[in-house]
Structure 1
Amino acid sequence: MCLIIFAYRTHPRYPLLMAANRDEFHARPTAAAGFWRERPDLLAGRDLQAGGTWMGITRGGRFAAITNFRDPARSTPAPRSRGELPLDWLDSAEPAPAWLARQSGQAAQYAGFNLLFGDRTTLWYWSNANGGGQRELEAGIYGLSNASLDTPWPKVELGKARLRALLEKSGDIDHGALLEVVQDRRLADTAALAPLGLGEAMDRQLSAQFICAGAYGTRSSTTLTVSGDGAVDWRETSYDAGGRQSGVRREHFPLG
């Protein structure tokens, strides 16, 4: 997943609001989000090539989402798939500090990653790139792409601004409005990318929130609301290689 825009404990009704895009090669085998047969409490998409996931939530309220970290200097394949990490958290019953203590020693076995993970009471960020780091998040509006949390890439700043504007409106939050937070298909200006070290032609091609680049692009968008009374509302919209909608999966359930 390459773009996650979220509001944590900033809305009176929803402790967590999120809109996210998963960008991937269209040829990579993938199962759309659903409850896993062998893990009936887990709602997540599935990477059928490596077996992990990019985003999921459990009936008990554990949540995780991961993005790759852009680092051209680290091109050698890593021993382990990054999709293992969100799945391990979602399967675990450990509190975040204990889980981090167990996992941190293995961080070098994965290519660069950014991981969001939490439960009904906390939300954490952990990365093994750009010097690494882990911290519990405070209330706020955040954006994450393929650099550190809140790195001001144009697509991230646009998403945060759109989510902030949505929260300032009165009324309920629906999936359609959340989806618009991450659907802009315009490429960023070259002048806006250069100061961020994104000067290559490919950087501009991938600078839009919603990517249509032939064999590679936005495969799905997930919108998620978790209400204060523990109601989860999840919608995943899938797209074909031309950027056309090809399916929608929705789940609504109470946290146990």
Structure 2
Amino acid sequence: MCIIALAYKTPALGPLVLLANRDEYYRRPAAPLDYWQDAPQTLGGRDLQAGGSWLAIDTRGRLAAVTHIRDGRPQSPPARSRGELVQRFVTGDEDALSYAQWLREHRHEFGPFNLLFGSYNDLLHFSSRSGQLNRLNPGIHVLSNAEMDTPWFKSERLRGHLQTLRRPPAEAEVLPWLCDRTAAEVAELPNTGVGLALEKLLSPVFIVGRDYGTRASSLLTVTARGDVGFAEVSWDMSGRETGRRRYQFTVGIPRRSI
């Protein structure tokens, strides 16, 4: 994931409404939203190169999503894929605080990352840069390639949309927000050390580059009864839709294996 916006425990929208775009190199293979063969209670997209995920939830209500942290500094290739962080938590049994301790001990084995994780009604955020763990407060939050709630141009565009909602949204309502290709003006760009041209390319909610861009857009909602709705749209390198997936389940009701 490269941008996540969520309404968390808000009176109008319930326990969770999460919007996200996954940005990745087009050459990196991925499977779309589905239940996993090796973890049948887990629902999410899957990185076919390293086996991890960018956003996943299971029938127990365990949830995780990851973004990388962009700082422009040269780095040696990490030993482990960030997608493992999502896969390990959602399919595992560790409580969130125990997992946070594991993150502190192993964070340098991964590229810089933000991890949103926990249960849908008790979410935490861990930053590998600072090593800090914070429990999310109710409200609207945005997370891109900096710290939680850093007011980047694209993050604030999604925050503004979420603030207008008075009921949980339908997929058709939020998809235009996630497909927003509006770029920031120069004065609104962050300085993450990658150069002005790249900052501009990466500034929209929806990215279309030569070899890198938005690969999937997701809407995840959870109601007070624990009813989960998870929808994903996949995109090709030209920004054209290549498929849609939608799933529903209720937390606490295991999925029957087929």
Kindly state the Cα deviation for residue 156 of structure 1 after the two structures are TM-superposed: 0.4
Pair 1:75-2:71 in alignment: no
Report the alpha carbon displacement of residue 151 of structure 1 after superposing the two structures with TM: 0.9
Cα distance in 2 for partners of 1:68, 1:164 equals 25
Name the counterpart of 2:225.
Answer: 229
Question: Deviations 1:195-235 (Å, cap 9, x if unpaired)?
Answer: 67675211101111101112211001001110010100000
Q: CA deviation at 1:189?
A: 0.3
In 1: Cα distance, 2:230 partner to 2:20 partner: 11
TM-score (norm 2): 0.93
Whether 2:152 is the aligned partner of 1:153: answer yes
CA-to-aligned-CA distance 1:167-203 (integer Å, 9 cap, x gap): 2x4x552112232332210111011115676752111
Following superposition, the deviation at residue 95 of structure 1 comes to: 1.7
CA contact 1:163–1:178 (8 Å) conserved in 2:
no
Aligned mates of 2:134, 2:13 — CA distance in 1 = 25
Matched, 1:207 2:206: no
Contact 1:126 1:133 in 2 (8 A): yes
Q: Secondary structure at the match of 1:203?
A: helix
Counterpart for residue 256 of structure 2: none
The share of aligned pairs that are identical, in percent, is 40
Say which SS state the counterpart of residue 156 (structure 2) adopts: helix
What is the aligned partner in structure 2 of residue 116 from structure 1?
116
Query: Which TM-score applies when normalising by structure 1?
Result: 0.94
Paired residues, what number? 252
Residues 53-64 of structure 1: pairs in structure 2 closer than 5 A? 53-64=53-64
Q: 1:81 to 1:148 in 2, by over 3 A?
A: same
User: Contact 1:188 / 1:208 at 8 angstroms: preserved in 2?
Assistant: yes
Call closer, same or farther: CA 1:232–1:157 in 2, change over 3 Å: same
Determine the structure 2 residue equivalent to 1:125: 125
Contact 1:163 1:181 in 2 (8 A): no
Moved more, 9-18 or 19-28: 9-18
Letter in 1 for 2:41: D
Where has structure 1 moved over 6 Å in runs of 4 or more? 195-198
Partner letter of residue 31 of structure 2?
A
Q: Distance in 2 between matches of 1:243 and 1:225?
A: 25
Which aligned pairs between 1:81-120 and structure 2 lie closer than 5 A? 81-120=81-120
Counterpart in the other structure of 2:177: 181
Structure 1: distance between partners of 2:112 and 2:168: 37
Does the C-alpha gap of structure 1 residues 28 and 195 become closer, same or farther in structure 2, counting only changes over 3 Å?
closer
2:183 and 2:120 map into 1 onto residues whose CA distance is 36
Shift of 1:12: 4.1
Structure 2: gaps (5+ residues)? 253-258
* Residues 232, 199 of structure 1: alpha-carbon distance in 2 compared, 3 angstrom cutoff: same
Q: CA separation of 1:12/1:157 partners in 2, compared to 1, >3 Å: closer, same or farther?
A: closer
Quick check: 1:235–1:251 contact (8 Å CA) kept in 2?
Answer: yes
User: Which residue is equivalent to 2:142?
Assistant: 143
Q: Which amino acid aligns with 1:191?
A: A
**Partner SS for 1:224:** strand
The root-mean-square deviation of aligned C-alpha atoms, in Å, is 1.6
- Structure 2 distance, partners of 1:214, 1:65, is 25
Quote the Cα distance in structure 2 between the aligned partners of 1:113 and 1:64: 13
- In 1, Cα distance between the equivalents of 2:77 and 2:194? 22
